Amino acid sequence: MALHPEEPSLSAIDCLLGAERSSLEDLYREFHAHPELSGQEEWTSRRLASALESAGCMVTRGIGGFGVVGLMQNGQGPVILLRADMDALPVREETGLPYTSTITMDDPQGRTVAVMHACGHDLHMTALVGAARVLGALRDKWNGTLVLIGQPSEEMVSGAARMIGDGLYSRFPRPDAALAFHVAPELPSGTI
């Protein structure tokens, strides 16, 4: 994205994030309580697509299975891709939180297993939606195209290849830069 000379201040971004905080926390809890295994992210895909549409993105669903692509186009400029994983792990949650996952699903071997967002993909998706909301509110401060990806099947190491095979870079703008992150609970808060 090309920033305008009057680039938004960190305090302006903090203010926007503060206004979204409660809603984003609710979305996080919703994602956390409804995990789905790799290749089965049907509900997750629908919910992420809906949240990106509400943030002002043009959304395409079903890319390489349950992949989601949201576009936020804002004039001429670079294309930036932001990626979030969507799948969960076959892990029983024992946190006792009010939004604890009680979901079970059949794994690829046909066994019924407990499912949990034990790897932080619930946070990945929430951060993606938060970025879309904030950048949508700051459209007067940047030019370019934002491509927001919800990638399925990261844990099975197959979702990215399926999305690319389904035309990710031919059907949508090819990025000049791509950003993704992962959470690490052992790092201090605020560390990047």
Active-site annotation, residues:
87, 154
Cα–Cα dist 167/159, whole Å? 13
Both tokens assigned to 100: 């604890």
Handedness of CA 179, 22, 43, 115 (dihedral sign): positive
- Are 141 and 6 in contact by the 8 Å Cβ rule? The answer is yes
- Look-up: residue for tokens 């938004």? 8
Tell me the backbone φ, ψ of residue 109, rounded to 5 degrees.
-90, 5
**Beta pairing class for 112-114 and 104-106:** antiparallel
Both tokens assigned to 103: 């979901």
For residue 163, with 0-12 CB atoms within 10 Å meaning exposed, 13-18 middle and 19 or more buried, which class applies? buried
The conformation of residue 187, written as its DSSP 8-state character, comes to: S
User: How far is residue 61 CA from its own chain's centroid?
Assistant: 13
- Are 1 and 132 in contact by the 8 Å Cβ rule? The answer is no
